[in-house]
Amino acid sequence: MAETDFKISMRDVHKQFGPKVVLDGFNLDIAKGESVVVIGGSGVGKSVMLKCLLGLLTPESGAITIDGENIIGISTGQRDRINHQIGMLFQMAALFDSQSVWENVAFGLMARGTSKSDARDIAVAKLALVGLGSEVIDLFPDSLSGGMKKRVGLARAIATDPEILFFDEPTTGLDPIMGDIINDLIVHCVEETGATTLTITHDMQSARKIADKIAMIYNGKIVWMGPTGDIDQSGNDIVTQFIHGRIVGPFQATAQL
């Protein structure tokens, strides 16, 4: 497939901070409607990859395209137009403490000019999609459990019906049962919206459940990418060590940093 055939494409992307190289010839292609999970250890560049896609960081070199349009070096107005396509679930939900649940969900809608009444109605519908009813809409984040905050964050991510969804460690801080509930909700929401989805995580249970394809980042590059069902037969020693949580193996030097 050509670069223009992908919803998201990163080609030969390099990003470093001083002498520390984080992305070193990074390549990733995601087709429209595809759910891709990028796995890897802490500090290997997963979040830097997302920040480059969101325009929060600018690579030193390489190409990043969304819908075939180069997004490196574009104007603020163009960046805003691109980001209007994107919904984001942040690692710790990142809710606004001073706003109620429905106001958190409706934040992006009202920022784009949707009336308060219409935004509230949409927020209530999106909250219902993630299993939260009218009893929570006027609560504030400090009244919510960790799992409920994640649900609210997910409702906010899908509130504007985005074409692209980014999930940053969606199960971090949750117990295994609640983590699996969030995974199920992500799968359901992606199916409902038809969005192209990119998730970063080190949680293999989550990756196996929500991904069409899994990619492994190591030393600033994707070292393996394939269908989720193929990962146990990847033939890659780094991938095998990571997914089985083994101490000994080629991943060891990075794990000790």
**Residue 255 predicted with pLDDT over 60:** no
What pLDDT is stored for residue 231 in this prediction? 94
Render pLDDT for 56-94 as a digit per residue (tens, 0 to 9): 999 999 999 999 999 998 888 898 889 889 998 887 778
Residue 2: the pLDDT is: 55
How large is the average pLDDT for residues 174-202? Answer: 89
User: What is the rounded CA–CA span in Å between residue 94 and residue 75?
Assistant: 26
% the chain with pLDDT above 90 = 54
Identify the pLDDT of residue 210.
93
Question: What is the average pLDDT across 33-45?
Answer: 90
Nearest CA-CA partner of 90 in 54, 45, 137: 54
CB neighbour list of residue 210: distance below 8 Å, 6 or more residues apart: 35, 37, 167, 183, 186, 187, 190, 197, 199
Alpha-carbon span 217 to 236, nearest angstrom: 12
C-beta of residue 178 within 8 angstroms of C-beta of residue 13: no
Average pLDDT of the chain is 89
Task: Return the pLDDT at 93.
Answer: 73
Answer for the pair 86, 54: CB distance below 8 angstroms, yes or no. yes
Q: What would be the CATH architecture of the domain defined by 1-85+200-257?
A: 3-Layer(aba) Sandwich (3.40)
| pTM flag (> 0.75) | yes
- For 107-140, write each residue's pLDDT tens digit: 988 988 889 999 999 999 999 988 888 889 999 9
pLDDT band at 3 (very low <50, low <70, confident <90, very high): low
Please tell me the total number of residues recorded for the chain in this structure: 257
pLDDT tens figures, 15-37: 999 999 999 999 999 999 999 99
pLDDT above 70 for 247: yes
